[in-house]
Amino acid sequence: MPSASVIVAFAGASILLLLIPGPAVLYIVNRSVSDGREAGLAAVVGLTLGNLAHAMAAAAGLSAVLATSATAFDTVKWLGAGYLMYVGVRTLLQPATAIDPDQPGVSIRRSFSQGVVVNVLNPKVALFFVSFLPQFIHPENGRPGLQALILGLVFVGIGFCTDSTYSLIASNLRAVLLNGKTLPFVRRWVAGTVFIGLGVVAATASVSHARAD
């Protein structure tokens, strides 16, 4: 069972990631702006199920890696930290694409099913679970799979709240979102900086853990 301090730290990192406009947020905004609030919230439910799939896969996968080798587990952590920083630099170097308001309308059921697919295939979520989640798993506390699952559920819960907020705001600010430049700016500069920061934190956590051993 993760300690309260670990859960709080992980929740903070999760909020940073979830607030960055990525594939999931762009899908929510497009559905909310193009098809209304109900379609947007249906997309949120689908995206939440996609997050849950990542959480369960991460819990099973990290437990299996640790059972194989503690060295392999540490290797995953180091590779993840490096990849986070790589993605951050790449994000800073690439211009963000604008929102496409002309996507054809979809039904609530279709919005939900597409949401599931979007997040199951969302590289940002997969990257977070593979690269950052291991930093918060402490094998010495036992049951790493359960630790990963609990933290994963924390991420899923926070994601539902942030995604719902995006949907509600987007459906009420259609004109602003279509004409403004804030979202592309955040997707490039803020997202890139946060990814690099997460990579640095992950690398530092790995070093501290190694010294503790």
Tokens 């994963």 belong to 152
Flag the least confident range among 103-107, 153-157, 195-199: 103-107
How confident is residue 77, by pLDDT bands cut at 50, 70 and 90? low
What does the alpha-carbon distance between residue 27 and residue 31 come to, in Å, rounded to a whole number? 6
Bigger pLDDT: 198 vs 145: 145
Q: Count CA within 13 A, CB hemisphere, residue 67.
A: 9
What does the alpha-carbon distance between residue 202 and residue 99 come to, in Å, rounded to a whole number? 31
Average pLDDT rounded to a whole number, residues 153-161: 94
Bigger pLDDT: 176 vs 165: 165
Bigger pLDDT: 182 vs 11: 11
* Axis-axis angle for helices 108-120, 23-35 (nearest 10): 170
DSSP for 24-78, written as a single string? HHHHHHHHHHHH-HHHHHHHHHHHHHHHHHHHHHHHHHHHHHHHH-HHHHHHHHH
SS3 20: coil
Listed ranges 50-64, 74-88, 142-156; the one with the highest mean pLDDT: 142-156
Task: Kindly report the pTM of this predicted structure.
Answer: 0.68
Average pLDDT rounded to a whole number, residues 53-69: 72
What does the alpha-carbon distance between residue 52 and residue 178 come to, in Å, rounded to a whole number? 31
- Asked if pLDDT for residue 151 goes beyond 80, the answer is yes
| pLDDT at 80 (0 to 100) | 66
Bigger pLDDT: 66 vs 4: 4
| pLDDT at 64 (0 to 100) | 61
Bigger pLDDT: 212 vs 135: 135
Q: Which of 83, 71, 198, 207 is nearest to 139 (CA)?
A: 71
Bigger pLDDT: 8 vs 140: 8
Count how many domains the chain has. 1
Flag the least confident range among 39-43, 87-91, 102-106: 102-106
- 36 dihedral zone (left: phi>0; alpha: psi -120 to 50; beta): left
Bigger pLDDT: 199 vs 114: 114
- Asked if pLDDT for residue 127 goes beyond 70, the answer is yes
What does the alpha-carbon distance between residue 124 and residue 110 come to, in Å, rounded to a whole number? 22
Average pLDDT rounded to a whole number, residues 29-48: 87
Task: Answer positive or negative: Cα dihedral of 51, 25, 172, 99.
Answer: negative
* Structural domain range at position 76: 4-212
How confident is residue 42, by pLDDT bands cut at 50, 70 and 90? very high
Q: In angstroms, what CA-CA distances link 184 with 19, 158, 161, 165, 198?
A: 13, 23, 22, 18, 21
Average pLDDT rounded to a whole number, residues 64-81: 64
